[in-house]
Chain A
Amino acid sequence: GAVVSQHPSWVICKSGTSVKIECRSLDFQATTMFWYRQFPKQSLMLMATSNEGSKATYEQGVEKDKFLINHASLTLSTLTVTSAHPEDSSFYICSAQGEVSPLHFGNGTRLTVT
């Protein structure tokens, strides 16, 4: 079964609102979680890396104030898209890594901003 659960799987929101996406490791402690973004017909681009209990490391060009990442526990990381705009519409995928477990991907969240 799935070892990384991502929720919601899809969300539609109005421009200007904020959306929170959760990524949970179900049966292992995720010391590191990665957040990716996938544009239509393109590959996944790493947005940020988060380690439990510390601030996320953002890739160049990713606005940290717009994409808030919290990794408060060993089983949960959240990505909050603040003041979303239509250009933020995309497919967001998380992955999680434990100290002794392999990397697993969530099923992704499709965000549509109207």
Chain B
Amino acid sequence: GNSVTQMEGPVTLSEEAFLTINCTYTATGYPSLFWYVQYPGEGLQLLLKATKADDKGSNKGFEATYRKETTSFHLEKGSVQVSDSAVYFCALGGANTGNQFYFGTGTSLTVIP
């Protein structure tokens, strides 16, 4: 079946620190992989995605590479800002899953000045 395992939080970092949020998946077939961000009181916003192995998704300084060999899609950012404080969800989905998404449990990130 399809599932996503995401590192537990919460994560607290100082501004300009390096961020890594681990995500691994199990899937039947070849799904697309996503990172969504949820700011307090808001819905999900797509942060980045990758549709096939070795693809790198990037946006707003965040990056994640679709690693088929390790079934991973770790989120990284070289220098976090206070405004990056949010909950981050790793997910798999797309046309190969009938657009049904499978989410990780979310990782809460707090960046302190």
Contact = CB atoms under 8 A, between A and B. Distances in A.
B58 interface: no
Interface stretch (A39-47, A62-70, A72-80, A82-90): A39-47
B42 A107 contact: yes
Chain B interface mostly helix, strand, loop or mixed? loop
**Of B42, B44, B45, B103, most A-chain CB atoms within 10 Å:** B44
Interface in B1-60: 36, 41-46
A105 B43 contact: yes
Interface string B96-111: 0011110111101000
Contact of A97 (B36, B99, B106): B99
Q: How large is the interface on B (under 10, 10 to 19, 20 to 34, 35 or more residues)?
A: 10 to 19
A88 B35 CA distance: 27
A34 B106 contact: no
Given A93-B43, A103-B99, A43 B106 contact: yes
14 contacts: A34-B99, A34-B101, A43-B105, A49-B98, A93-B43, A93-B44, A97-B99, A103-B93, A103-B101, A105-B44, A106-B43, A108-B43, A108-B44, A110-B41
Interface of A: 6, 32, 34, 41-44, 46, 49, 93, 95, 97, 103, 105-108, 110
